[in-house]
Amino acid sequence: MTDLLLKNVRVVTHDRDEPVVADIAVTGGRIEQVGPGLSAEGVAEVLDGDGKLAFPGVVDAHQHWGIYNPLPADAASESMASAQGGVTTALTYMRTGQYYLNKGGPYAEFFPQVREQAEGQAYIDYGFHLAPMSSTHIGELPDLIEKFGVSSFKIFMFYGGHGLHGRSADQSKFLMLPEGERYDYGHFEFVMRGVQEARERFPELADEISLSLHCETAEIMTAYTKLVEEAGDLSGLAAYSASRPPHSEGLAVFIASYLAHETGLANINLLHLSSRKALDAAVRMAKTFPHIDFRREVTIGHLLADIETANGIGAKVNPPIRPREDVEALWEYVLDGTVDWVVSDHACCREELKFGTPADDVFVAKAGFGGAEYLLPGLITEGRRRGLPYGRIAALTAWNPARRYGLRTKGTIAPGFDADICLVDPGSTWTVRASESESTQEYTPFEGFELTAKVTDTFVRGNHVLDAGKIVGRPVGQYISRPLG
């Protein structure tokens, strides 16, 4: 028997530009039928969508639960905030060292604790990317894939020589590496070799095993931070952007790409590219190394805000919020198909942690902020104004990341796929207020921004978790062991 029938919606999918009027039938948490005029006879629950857009639930492939708050707390509150933005699946980055669980050691001991702390807390489905920080972690890669269901990994290219927050971090304590080990280009090469060996060991999963890179260059940023602070003519977000210049991103993209070529690693994800120079470097490397399957990611924060319009230094993030000319460049690359997916990079950082002393010094503030609540509404608002088709928005937020990261039953509205659906009112104009978010973050860089689309309802495997804009029910999110499906 059909559990849920969504009537009178306009279904958006990645394979066509514009929506089609249809009903959606859900049975056992999966989509059973999509089509006009489906019968409601015998259906347990029938909901009238009132002509709203039905988007596939957003696969937010870049979040950070537990980085600044206890993981169980973030899994609860930030998953609720995610549902407000149409997110039904979050893939969150996790590593050993300071922040997160504040522990070192092998993932065989560390990751079960991560799983245990998140269990039963989330309102949306979730999985993890892991960062091989030590040689032990590289050796664990096959087990992480086969036993723990983690098939995507990460390198933070600047960590070995520059603080997470700029000059405010102590690297000797930060990484918690074993005695005699370094987190440098040599380590990055061996991580790439390890990931490629895993792809060869599991050929049936090879297309879904990938390595993601945060591309910034420590040496460039250290030198420019000194220049900016000594000059003293810039402050706030403008100073932080200048201290981590766009060519630092571009250079890191070049280095990462050549190492991928050298090691034969074919699946590379270039994360949160924030500038024209970064995207230009990514395009150049794709042409130089056509045998590497590069994917390019940008965040909703970098697409919505610039150093002038963001609401204060609460918008400090790595890589930085950029001047308006870089925002416009990112949109050029979104519109021409260069960008593969859009994410939130959601990292809830409450006021008492975010701002240092003095409170207006961007270099002592923590990096990162939440934003999943505004992911789909923000992309629709700005994207539609620029002529971005609805179908492309669905591809950027759901289909493309789901395919890359082994979420085989997620990413579209079609029979056999999980009933991850969000209803969007494209005619609702509203003003962003941090006080209206379910996140425990008390501020937002987008305070006062006007958006012209609103997520009203979110369904996770058919479970109604956001109803008329309000979180309802109990946490139904499940850990995703990949590949899923």
Q: What percent of the chain has pLDDT over 90?
A: 94
**pLDDT score, position 138:** 98
Query: Average pLDDT in the 74-101 region?
Result: 97
Report pLDDT digits (tens) over 383-435.
999 999 999 999 999 999 999 999 999 999 999 999 999 999 999 999 999 99
**pLDDT tops 80 at residue 485:** no
Q: Please state the φ and ψ torsions of residue 68, each to the nearest 5 degrees.
A: -115, -10
| pLDDT at residue 165, rounded to an integer | 80
* Cα gap 310→308, rounded to integer Å: 6
Rg of the chain on CA atoms, in Å: 21
Going from the C-alpha of 309 to that of each of 213, 273, 313, the distances in angstroms are 28, 19, 11
In this prediction, residue 117 carries a pLDDT of 98
The two three-digit tokens of residue 298, written as one number: 């940008």
Report residue 38: phi and psi, to 5°: -70, 140
Give the tens place of pLDDT for each residue, 353-384.
Answer: 999 989 999 999 999 999 999 999 999 999 99
- The residue among 34, 87, 12, 74 whose CA lies nearest residue 390 is 12
Q: Which domains occur in the chain, in start order? A: 57-410+427-450 (3.20.20.140)
Mean pLDDT on 175-180 = 90
**What is the SS3 assignment for 349?**
coil
pLDDT of residue 166: 77
- DSSP string of 229-288, one letter each residue: HHH----HHHHHHHHS-HHHHHHHHHHHHHHHHHHT--EEEE----SHHHHHHHHHHHHH
Report how far residue 152's alpha carbon sits from residue 15's, in angstroms, rounded to the nearest whole number: 25
Residues 6+ positions from 74 with CB-CB distance below 8 Å: 65, 66, 67, 348
Between CA 369 and CA 58 the distance in angstroms is 19
Model confidence pLDDT, tens digit, residues 111-158: 999 999 999 999 999 999 999 999 999 999 999 999 999 999 999 999
pLDDT of residue 108: 98
List, for residues 278-308, the tens digit of each pLDDT value: 999 999 999 999 999 999 999 999 999 999 9
Q: Label residue 149 exposed, middle or buried (CB < 10 Å: 0-12, 13-18, 19+).
A: middle
- Ramachandran quadrant class, 239 (left: phi over 0; alpha: psi -120 to 50; beta: rest): alpha
Strand pairing of 53-56 and 45-48? unpaired
What value does the mean pLDDT of the chain take?
A: 96
Confidence of residue 173 (pLDDT cuts 50, 70, 90): confident
Strands 30-35 and 125-130: unpaired
In the predicted model, what is the mean pLDDT of residues 445-471? 98
The per-residue pLDDT for 168 is: 43
User: pLDDT tens digits for 332-351?
Assistant: 999 999 999 999 999 999 99
Confidence of residue 447 (pLDDT cuts 50, 70, 90): very high
Tell me how far apart the alpha carbons of residues 189 and 196 are, in angstroms, rounded to a whole number.
Answer: 11
pLDDT at 171: 62
**Residue 20 pLDDT greater than 70, yes or no:** yes
Q: H-helix or E-strand containing 155?
A: strand 152-156
pLDDT in tens, 25-44: 999 999 999 999 999 999 99
Euclidean distance between CA atoms 412 and 378, whole angstroms:
20
Whether the per-residue pLDDT at 445 is higher than 90: the answer is yes
> Which residues on neighbouring strands pair with residue 343, listed in sequence order?
299
pLDDT at 88 over 80: yes
Burial of 402 (0-12, 13-18, 19+ CB in 10 A): buried
